[in-house]
Structure 1
Amino acid sequence: MKLHWSPKSPYVRKVMVCAHELGLEDRMELVRSVAAMLKPNERLMQDNPLSKIPTLVLDDGFVLFDSVVICEYLNDLGGGTLFPSQGTDKWQALRWHALGDGLLDALILWRNERERAVPLAVLLDAFELKVRATLQQLDDEAQALNETVFSIGHVAVGCALGYLDYRFDTLDWRGAAPRLAEWYAETRARPSLQNTEPVDG
């Protein structure tokens, strides 16, 4: 398998955390791919016309797009339990998955806006409001996160919090969400998250 990959992308990190959890990391060839919004990557577009990462090319040439799809594929391939198959556990995992991805979406848009020559204050305020509200929601659910079997929901939330640390180091999210911070301190100690910390370069 060939994975279009970047050490900075939180969505790629989700895929890599799943691969480590499932023991599949050694089966993937990592292809360093830049996916800048304003500069479509022609090489990447040969596999993904959207010029987005992560993109997974299977051994038979079939291509999977988007971290949500790729993570579920890896879970099936590795016979894992990151995606519970039924009942309350399934919907809770998918709910946290969506919440973690939604938090990442807001953070990336927030970062893009603040780096514009003339950022719009109303957008900056809206993104910050959404991020802080999501952190409060997750703080309220920290005990449930701690008591639930590790799943794709935990992966997504963990990667979103890692991105906060990486790109928003001046935002004191731990002070505002102490229970979530305690959960994250334990979760980030897992080898899968330790081995996939975002790095520059």
Structure 2
Amino acid sequence: MSYVKDSDGRWHTIFDQTKGSSCGPTCMRMVVKMMQNRDLGEEQARQLVERKNGVAVLSTLTSENGGVGQMGSHNWGNHGHHASGGGGVGVGAEPLAAALKGTGIKDAHVPQIYARQALLKTSLKNPGIAAVGWGGQWNGKRAQGAHWIVVAGQLSNGNILVFDPIYGIGEIDLSPAIPKYRPANHEATLYNKNVVLTAK
């Protein structure tokens, strides 16, 4: 957990993921903390998402080296995030929305709209969870995969505020035709129709 300041001077709490593919549950944990001021803990968040995801159905965004654990549960530690050349998303948007509903966030849903439109519907009061996809090279290796981040409304500079369970605080630039996210100077593209919103 870290305390970080955004470009508008506001301080925020960000949780770091502890397993290679638990970015989705960690984002869910952050959203619950922001909206309900309670900390689920990463393990409980993983369990909630796992129950909603099912033991055998993984998102199409799942890394090629991911899988299901020996006991029929998701193997959260077996996926690499993009820095290791693997993908980071082991769960889809719908199970994340369902898990959020299970915590009492009744308006959690996945709208069938473009990412830019969805991002503009987020705020610190009603944050969202967005999927981003990596491409290109990372430390000399081919880096493909996906990652979940929390999106929390527009900053005064017009960018979207991001809480990233790997990279901490960041911003999504809305000025290009396709919004871009660039943590650690590595470009990611947002997936359309893969943003979980917490308000209608």
TM-score bracket relative to the smaller structure: 0.3 to 0.5
Structure with larger Rg: 1
TM-score computed with the length of structure 1 as normaliser: 0.33
Whose strand proportion is higher, 1 or 2? 2
